[in-house]
Amino acid sequence: MLKRIFTYFSGCVALTIIIGFLIGEIVTGSAATATESLLTDLPVHSVKIPASDGTDVHGWLVYGKDGNGAVLLVHSIRSNRVEMLSRARFLTAQGYHVLLIDLQAHGETPGDRITFGARESENVEASIDFLRKTFPNESIGAIGVSLGAAAIVLAKHDLKLSAVILESLHPTIEEAVENRLKLFLGKPGTFFLPLLLAQISFFTDTPIDELSPITRINNLNSPLLIISGTNDRHTTPPETERLFAAAREPKELWIVPGAGHFNMHDYAGRTYEQEVLGFLSHYLRPR
């Protein structure tokens, strides 16, 4: 009897480890996609930006009008630069220079694993340097969504941006993973949390607490607008409010009524454009 119980529990443990490993592979696996050959309605210029690891960050540069500022657009997890095209349209229409990039292990930028901001932050730093060299007289801002927002906040060096917009950003990696496990597997999914966090730390070669934006957001020495949705179950409103509280002034918070964890521009449309353009204009085009 004891032997059967031991065998049963051993099997359960083994199954849990296998399932946890598979989840880890899915979560951290590369999201490579061909983006360069896609046709767009914007006059995009393909760019390859040298990164610190010896690879190139692939992206599109859209020229605006000098004197209006430049904006870096950084997509969400398992996506690519195409996600940010709708934002690029209304920003370039207002004269901004815009750079859209594929983060490492996304789109056409090389990378074996998604690292939740650890290596992606290096892509952001390289892209900001590129914008500074290309437009030395322009104020520079950035808009990041989910993983893209984390990549901005987790940058190891001061980006010295004139304006930053963070959308749907989690405060801690633990909460981000736990919320998603609950959404996809129900409450039992939380049993996989320790195993998945261990995998993330292993694959990123980074302690888990160094992947939590709330511990770094106060280092972001830029005017800040945080955007989230009232119905977001990946990053809840109370989590967003904690993140906002940890940031330094000047800062603004916009929690969009009815919005979930998806493209805020698609959801809020013209209202989103008005909020974003008002914020960017105030800080990138000082009177």
Six-digit token pair at 31? 């999201």
Q: What is the pLDDT of residues 157-203, one digit of tens each?
A: 999 999 999 999 999 999 999 999 999 889 888 889 999 999 889 88
By mean pLDDT, which of 20-29, 111-120, 264-273 is the weakest?
20-29
For the chain, helix, strand, coil in percent to 5 are: 45, 20, 35
Judged on CB neighbours under 10 Å (0-12, 13-18, 19+), 205 is exposed
Judged on CB neighbours under 10 Å (0-12, 13-18, 19+), 225 is buried
8-state DSSP, 113: B
Supply the pTM of this predicted model: 0.91
Q: What is the pLDDT of residues 62-101, one digit of tens each?
A: 999 999 999 999 999 999 999 999 999 999 999 999 999 9
